[in-house]
């Protein structure tokens, strides 16, 4: 699966949230500064060519919907991060967050519970 550029990812975030949307609806969900309609339409077309989204035609209008779920993409991207930056070690990732104080003890306890319940 290809990695998305920043603006592509923002558009996908909008589509994952909306589930299906026309270009104007996608733009409404984006943060400021909002891109021009034509810019958004171009990025949407690129996402469609990459196989991330598809559309349904209503006359001259297209309603877009994701083909790749947020969970699928999240798993792929996080897997790449763990592989490329943490020597393929999820433990190294958790240690990093603990060291940087990006995760608190309650969250660590929740992770431990999840691991124990998986066994």
Query: pTM for the complete prediction?
Result: 0.81
pLDDT > 90? residue 53: yes
Residues 17 and 26: their CA atoms lie apart, in Å, by: 10
Q: Using a pLDDT cut of 70, give the percent of the chain over it.
A: 99
Q: Are residues 39 and 75 in contact, defined by beta-carbon separation less than 8 angstroms?
A: no
Confidence band of 43 (pLDDT split at 50, 70, 90) = very high
- The pLDDT assigned to 34 comes to 93
For 6-66, which CATH class? mainly alpha
Where exactly are the structural domains of the chain?
Answer: 6-66, 70-118
- The pLDDT assigned to 105 comes to 84
């Amino acid at each position: 699966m290809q990695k998305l550029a920043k603006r592509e990812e923002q558009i996908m975030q909008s589509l994952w949230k909306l589930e299906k949307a026309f270009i104007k609806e996608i733009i409404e969900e984006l943060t400021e500064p909002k891109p021009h309609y034509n810019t958004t339409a171009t990025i949407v077309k690129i996402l469609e060519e990459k196989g991330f989204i598809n559309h349904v035609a209503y006359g001259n209008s297209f309603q877009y919907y994701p083909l790749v779920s947020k969970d699928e993409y999240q798993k792929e991207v996080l897997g790449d991060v763990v592989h490329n930056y943490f020597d393929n070690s999820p433990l190294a990732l958790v240690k990093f967050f603990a060291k940087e104080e990006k995760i608190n003890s309650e969250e660590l306890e929740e992770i431990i519970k999840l691991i124990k319940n998986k066994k």
